[in-house]
Amino acid sequence: MTKKRIAIICGGRSSEHPISCISAKGVLSAIDSTKFETSLIGITESGAWVQLSSADEFVIGKDGLPYVPETAPLISADVRGFTGANGEKLHIDLVFPLLHGAYGEDGTIQGFFEMAGIPYVGSGVLASSVAMDKTFAKPIYADFGLKVADGITVHQRDWKANRELELAKIIALGFPIFIKPARSGSSRGTSKVKNESEIAAAIDEAHRHDPRAMVEVAIVGREIECRFLRLLAKLLLRFWAKFEFMNHMSFMILKRNILMVQLLLISQRKFPTRSLAG
């Protein structure tokens, strides 16, 4: 049987670059090598597309996280597909984009794949774009009757031009509140604000990731992480009070713990060893 060739794309120009590399390592370790042949393609922080032989070629940054090396062999990607550093065309049956954040989850790269006629895993251009921008997604959810947190959007230009007015609107929401980038993930740039003195720093941090910051009232409840294996069973893990909210550090720890639990269940034959991406 001829193996399907899967291009796994990771890295990217967003602040979530290392999270993407971690995801790629997970997929590479879990994919069924008897059915699929993988090609690892990285996008560096500067935006260069490179070819990697394995996840072992990631470089470890000062934060202890993996990054796509800027020195890896360059490849070209255009509407004709992918061409390797040696000038040979890379034959790809399917692209598995694991890019997190801007340029990866916002419909940008999905549009490129659509123009190039390359099959890919995940949502299409419109769904990706709308879901990535929470200022657009929330009104759609509300229109379908889903409850969403009250809040406002603070544009960077308005914050610089009339900070006092924006502060007044934020304070009117009450405390505690969450301040986060409108288009980001993995809790990058997210802060829980308990009083007026913490607002400015939280807005500035969110604006480091996106010129639009969302300010929302805090919702009291539990955060639930859900993972699926083969649709036969599901693993629910509750996020408890060790961390006050799902910030970037707690996200990484929880992701590691979920992987450990999944490996334990697989070793006990409670789940089949092959998994399907949903």
What would the pLDDT profile of 222-240 be if each residue is shown by its tens digit?
766 655 544 334 444 444 4
| Better-predicted residue by pLDDT, 128 or 235 | 128
Q: Which domains does the chain have, with CATH numbers?
A: 4-131 (3.40.50.20), 134-217 (3.30.1490.20), 223-267 (no CATH)
126's CB contacts (< 8 A; 6+ apart) are 107
Residue 175 confidence (pLDDT) above 50: yes
pLDDT above 70 as % of the chain: 79
Nearest 10 degrees: Cα torsion 68, 69, 72, 76: 50
98 and 8 in contact (C-beta within 8 Å)?
yes
Closest CA to 47 of 6, 83, 17: 17
What would the pLDDT profile of 80-106 be if each residue is shown by its tens digit?
899 987 888 999 999 999 998 889 999
Q: Please compute, for residue 106, the number of CA atoms within 13 A of its CA located in the half-sphere on the CB side.
A: 16
Q: What share of the chain is helix, strand, coil (3-state, %, to 5)?
A: 35, 25, 40
pTM (2 d.p.): 0.76
Structure tokens at 167: 């502060």
C-alpha distances in angstroms, 64 versus 8, 18, 23, 34, 230? Answer: 22, 10, 15, 32, 32
CA torsion through residues 129, 132, 134, 135, sign:
negative
Closest CA to 228 of 187, 175, 272: 272
